[in-house]
Amino acid sequence: YLLPQNSGGFPKPSLRSNAFVTMVFLGKSVHLSHDDADYRDEIRVYQQHCGGENLCVYKGKLLEGETFQFISRRHHGFPFSLTFFLNGIQVDRLSCCCEYKHQKRSRLGGRHGYFGFLNVEGASPCYRCIIAMTLDKKPSPPKRKIEEDHEGKHVGPWGNGVCSEPSKSSVEQKSSKSSVLVILPSQEASVETIEDEMETGQEYREEE
């Protein structure tokens, strides 16, 4: 569905990534003698844009060390899949999540690869790359807030708060609870006389 012109509506987002890829032809490990004076090699790059047929995104003749560019036609949600042909022979194949992964310089196929990535412009990271970037960032532990009381207040043993001076009622209650029975010397004499009378009474009963 196409929006009419000057309708004020938002344009429909593109289904393709349309990333601008710059690569370099590093050359062959084995060099054979050429019959003609043309030392260039025929390079073809095919891309599987949406899981269907392969689309030729680049075709040309290059010398070793020359760069070439093409626009990626990958549909969103599909992998970034490329197949490289050198003089009609398949030499390399790439299949990864998206173009954003090859923003930095990298050689395709290891140390003996024929091609290398130089730059990728206009590539947005896919969900897999976003998750990988978030996992690389190690979360820092939360800082514990230490509350220091600079006013010299002491916390009481019954919980949070400042200890206050004990009231008079509490002092009286403590004094009443901690009171001890004290026997005066005059009371000691009366107690001894009572004990003597009890003993004489018991002896008089025994005699009767």
What tens digit of pLDDT does each residue of 170-198 get?
545 554 445 555 555 554 445 555 555 56
In a domain, 78, yes or no: yes
Mean pLDDT of the chain: 74
Could you tell me what percent of the chain has a pLDDT over 90? Answer: 32
In a domain, 187, yes or no: no
In a domain, 104, yes or no: yes
In a domain, 188, yes or no: no
- 75 within 8 A of 16, measured Cβ to Cβ: yes
- 159 within 8 A of 150, measured Cβ to Cβ: no
pLDDT digits (tens, 9 = 90+) for 52-70: 788 999 999 999 999 999 9
Tell me how many domains the chain contains. Answer: 1
In a domain, 12, yes or no: no
- 73 within 8 A of 79, measured Cβ to Cβ: no
In a domain, 202, yes or no: no
- CATH number, domain at 54? 2.60.40
State the pLDDT confidence band at 201, using cuts at 50, 70 and 90.
low
CA pair distance 29, 169, nearest whole angstrom: 102
Tokens standing for 112? 């003996």
Q: What pLDDT, on the 0 to 100 scale, is given for residue 188? A: 47
Can you tell me the mean pLDDT for 66-86?
Answer: 93
Coil vs helix vs strand at 199: helix
Q: Write down the pTM of the prediction.
A: 0.56
Q: In the 8-state DSSP scheme, what is residue 120?
A: E
Helix, strand, coil content of the chain in percent (nearest 5): 25, 25, 50
Domain hosting residue 62, numbered range: 19-29+37-135
In a domain, 45, yes or no: yes
In a domain, 170, yes or no: no
Q: What pLDDT, on the 0 to 100 scale, is given for residue 89? A: 93
